[in-house]
């Protein structure tokens, strides 16, 4: 579990008291605001940020209890969203480093049931081409020669991929230490995650590196003895990288379609 560093040194009892007082403030904000608006959400995020910076190791469990008490979801859903070994550690990291009073806070509250409106996109000026398009441009004649092109797409690298973790989990993204198979005894693994990835998981580091290292051989672009890339007909012409690199966002995509069945997230 990876959590942000803390600048405080609370005892267990002091941390518990601080959490209780802080969450009471959040409940009072929500009650005074009739269930929550953008200003109340941003104010609550400021409280959560203080907790993330002072008692980060205690915050995930407290967030699970808060989620259940506030009826934001079922026990299972709250554990998936805020549990220490699930998305809770990510939430604490994000809150600790976010500008919760600014644009970051508005984006976060927009993601929480639309409590804040979607912030407007900043206007961007597209960089100009180094020279204008030539007049009456025509396509060059084809040479008839073939060229090898490498097209890489949708790497979906998962930095939390763990070798030996459950590769056949029943909820969430598999091959992570926090995911389990609910059909077998707790603490047991039905299918250990191998080094080079598994079907229900995103890409492991070793699979990604191995795929890149194997490309010259699989594509036949190893340089013949005595030849260089400049004069070799087997050289790679160019490469194209498209798609996404991050792991699947399991909370917003149809995981049954993309990743296999998972336990429903109920409110």
pLDDT at 254 (0 to 100): 37
pLDDT reading at 26 higher than 50: yes
Average pLDDT over residues 174-179: 86
pLDDT reading at 260 higher than 80: no
Q: Where are the beta strands (DSSP E) in the chain?
A: 148-153, 236-242
pLDDT band at 255 (very low <50, low <70, confident <90, very high): very low
pLDDT band at 168 (very low <50, low <70, confident <90, very high): very high
CA distance linking residue 108 with residue 101, whole number of Å = 11
**Among 42-56, 130-144, 193-207, 230-244, where is mean pLDDT lowest?**
230-244
pLDDT at 165 (0 to 100): 94
**Among 119-133, 147-161, 239-253, where is mean pLDDT lowest?**
239-253
pLDDT reading at 4 higher than 80: no
Average pLDDT over residues 64-77: 85
pLDDT at 227 (0 to 100): 52
pLDDT at 261 (0 to 100): 39
Residue bearing the bigger pLDDT, 105 or 71: 105
Tell me the two tokens of residue 150. Answer: 């490498």
Residues in the chain: 267
CA distance linking residue 204 with residue 164, whole number of Å = 12
Residue bearing the bigger pLDDT, 118 or 124: 118
CA distance linking residue 63 with residue 56, whole number of Å = 11
pLDDT reading at 208 higher than 70: yes
pLDDT band at 263 (very low <50, low <70, confident <90, very high): very low
State the burial class of residue 110 (Cβ atoms within 10 Å of its Cβ: 0-12, 13-18, 19+).
middle
pLDDT reading at 81 higher than 90: no
| Neighbouring residues of 85: CB distance < 8 A, sequence distance ≥ 6 | 1, 177, 178
pLDDT at 247 (0 to 100): 64
Residue bearing the bigger pLDDT, 249 or 106: 106
**Among 22-31, 134-143, 242-251, where is mean pLDDT lowest?**
242-251
């Amino acid at each position: 579990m990876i959590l942000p560093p803390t600048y405080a040194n609370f005892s267990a009892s002091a941390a518990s008291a601080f959490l209780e007082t802080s969450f009471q403030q959040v409940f009072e904000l929500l009650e005074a605001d009739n269930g929550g608006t953008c200003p109340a959400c941003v104010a609550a995020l400021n409280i959560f940020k203080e907790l993330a910076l002072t008692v980060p190791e205690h915050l995930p469990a407290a967030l699970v209890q808060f989620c259940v008490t506030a009826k934001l979801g079922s026990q299972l859903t709250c554990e998936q969203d805020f549990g220490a070994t699930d998305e809770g550690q990510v939430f604490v990291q994000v809150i600790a480093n976010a500008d919760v009073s600014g644009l970051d806070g508005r984006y976060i509250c927009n993601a929480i049931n639309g409590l804040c409106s979607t912030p407007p996109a900043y206007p961007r000026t597209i960089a100009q081409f180094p020279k204008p398009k030539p007049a009456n441009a025509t396509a060059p004649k084809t040479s008839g020669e073939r060229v090898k092109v490498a097209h890489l797409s949708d790497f979906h690298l998962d930095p939390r991929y763990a070798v030996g973790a459950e590769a056949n989990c029943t909820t969430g993204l598999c091959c992570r230490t926090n995911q389990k198979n609910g059909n077998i005894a707790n603490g047991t693994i039905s299918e250990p995650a191998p080094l080079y990835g598994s079907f229900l998981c995103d890409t492991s580091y070793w699979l990604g590196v191995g795929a890149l290292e194997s490309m010259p051989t699989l594509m036949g672009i190893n340089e013949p003895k005595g030849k260089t890339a400049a004069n070799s007909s087997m050289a790679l012409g160019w490469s194209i990288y498209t798609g996404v690199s991050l792991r699947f966002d399991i909370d917003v995509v149809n995981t049954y379609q993309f990743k296999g069945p998972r336990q429903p997230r109920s409110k």
